[in-house]
Amino acid sequence: MRNVLIVGAGVAGPTLAYWLARAGFRPTVVERARGQRSSGNPVDVRGPALPVAEQMGVVPALREAATTVTAMRLIDSRGRRRQRLPMPAGRSPAGTAEIEVPRADLASILYAAARDHAEFVFDDTITGFTQDPAGVDVTFERSAPRRFDLVVGADGLHSAVRRLAFGPEATFVRHLGVYVATTPLGEPVDHPGEALMYNTPGRLISVHPSRDHALLAFIFRGPAIPGFDHRDVALHKRVLLHAYANDRNWLVPTYLERVRAAEDLYFDSVSKVVLPSWSNGRVTLLGDAAASVSLFGDGSSMAMAGALTLANALKNSGPATALKRYETEHRRRTDPKGRRARLAAAMIVPSTRPGIAVRNTAARLAYRR
């Protein structure tokens, strides 16, 4: 088994391609987008992902791209700067090592590490496949059909590979009652070392500085939207603007104007993926496609760790044994994240004013440790 198709060039896909190439495989990565994406929220590379980054030699690049944030600052309804929550450089509130980096930069760094060792095909995607005990025949939207020994769906929460291999998205994706949207702020900030956080019940707006720009983020509670389309930008703007329409405090009206004019807007449901198995014959899933707890589950770190786990399993065993071993080992990391998802949502977006007060007190105590 040597030819492996990886669908998705975000975080999981390039990481897997890198390690498969080092193990003697011939990976091909296909990505629907025309190039590396620029949007997305800051993510933490930590826990089991840090050794992966170190072995790939990308830690210096990650530190160069890391955000400049050393503290969070709570903002009240009048725009007054309230509680400051220090964040020790390179450390989480729990004291563990981590590197916070914009997700787009993380994906670009991983792509740069893998691009000379794997075939990358952008502006294309998988449309179907048939498999037999020896391999998988794959059709694409633009490219000619090809045969691979294995297909890996690393194509995120709305995975086309998962839909083709297991069935409709609605069967496996659980909306957690929260939505997230991000867009570049488009101007410098006065305090580049502080992330600003403004909460009202069920709503959050944050301004998160990076090295050369700041990201504007909206996280809010809302029910599942029937027929939700994660590519319908007009729908996304309507939902977001409606959620914050009655808030005239702080800079909320100004930031909503930024949303109206935004050309680069990321918007999605915060959801949990629940699957009884990650593999179907010679097709398997990786990253958020397999076990997303988007926003609340260390998705990028889990994706990097899972990619190395899958590559090592494939290097040492045949496909059936390797896929079972990969899933057994990696579920030990991802399953606890899923169980804590609703607690994480309550901490980030409390639904009541008393809940916000409790969260702020808990955060203050945590950051003092």
| CA-based torsion, 45, 49, 51, 54: positive or negative | negative
Residue 294: what pLDDT? 63
Residues 302 and 364 in one domain: no
Helix H or strand E segment including 346: helix 341-348
We report the CATH number of the domain holding residue 255 as: 3.30.9.30
Q: Has residue 75 been placed in a domain?
A: no
Averaged pLDDT score across all residues of the chain = 88
The Cα–Cα gap between 166 and 354 comes to: 42
Residue 23: what pLDDT? 96
pLDDT band at 163 (very low <50, low <70, confident <90, very high): very high
Q: Mean of the pLDDT values across residues 353-359?
A: 82
Residue 227: what pLDDT? 82
Residues 215 and 233 in one domain: yes
Cβ pair 100, 43 in contact under 8 A: yes
The token duo for 197 is: 């956080």
Residues 224 and 326 in one domain: no
- Residue 237 sits at φ, ψ, to 5 deg, of -65, -40
- Over 60: is that where the pLDDT of 134 sits? yes
Residues 202 and 216 in one domain: yes
The Cα–Cα gap between 159 and 8 comes to: 9
Residues 334 and 195 in one domain: no
Residues 181 and 161 in one domain: no
Q: Has residue 230 been placed in a domain?
A: yes
- Over 90: is that where the pLDDT of 121 sits? yes
Residue 347: what pLDDT? 75
Q: In which region does residue 274 sit, left (phi positive, over 0), alpha (psi from -120 to 50) or beta (all else)? A: beta
- Calculate the alpha carbon distances from 84 to 36, 259, 354 in Å: 35, 27, 19
More confident residue, 89 or 346: 346
Residues 113 and 51 in one domain: yes
Residues 14 and 122 in one domain: yes
The Cα–Cα gap between 324 and 334 comes to: 15
Out of 19-23, 205-209, 347-351, pick the least confident: 347-351
Helix H or strand E segment including 49: helix 49-56
Cβ pair 307, 48 in contact under 8 A: no
Q: Has residue 84 been placed in a domain?
A: no
Residues 287 and 184 in one domain: no
Q: Has residue 85 been placed in a domain?
A: no
At CA 173, angle to CA 172 and CA 178, rounded to 5? 165
Range of the structural domain that residue 264 is part of? 176-270+346-368
List of residues 6+ apart from 253 with CB closer than 8 A? none
Q: Has residue 117 been placed in a domain?
A: yes
Cα 273 vs. chain centroid, distance in angstroms?
Answer: 13
Residue 111: what pLDDT? 96
| CA-based torsion, 107, 108, 114, 120: positive or negative | positive
Length of the chain equals: 369
The Cα–Cα gap between 299 and 306 comes to: 10
We report the CATH number of the domain holding residue 277 as: 3.50.50.60
Residue 292: what pLDDT? 78
Residues 356 and 252 in one domain: yes
Residue type, 277: S
Q: Has residue 82 been placed in a domain?
A: no
Residue 325: what pLDDT? 97
Residues 251 and 323 in one domain: no
List of residues 6+ apart from 161 with CB closer than 8 A? 7, 126, 151, 152, 153, 155, 283, 285, 289
Residue 256: what pLDDT? 96
- Over 60: is that where the pLDDT of 26 sits? yes
- Over 50: is that where the pLDDT of 94 sits? no
Q: Has residue 87 been placed in a domain?
A: no
Q: Has residue 201 been placed in a domain?
A: yes
Residues 50 and 132 in one domain: yes
pLDDT, one tens digit per residue, over 279-303 is 999 999 999 999 877 666 588 999 9
More confident residue, 271 or 86: 271
**Domain tally for the chain?**
2
pLDDT band at 35 (very low <50, low <70, confident <90, very high): confident
CB neighbourhood size of 353 (10 A): 11
Q: Which candidate, 235, 203, 205, places its Cα nearest to that of 351?
A: 203
Cβ pair 315, 308 in contact under 8 A: no
- Calculate the alpha carbon distances from 313 to 16, 39, 48, 154, 345 in Å: 12, 32, 16, 17, 33
Residue 95: what pLDDT? 45
Q: Mean of the pLDDT values across residues 349-353?
A: 85
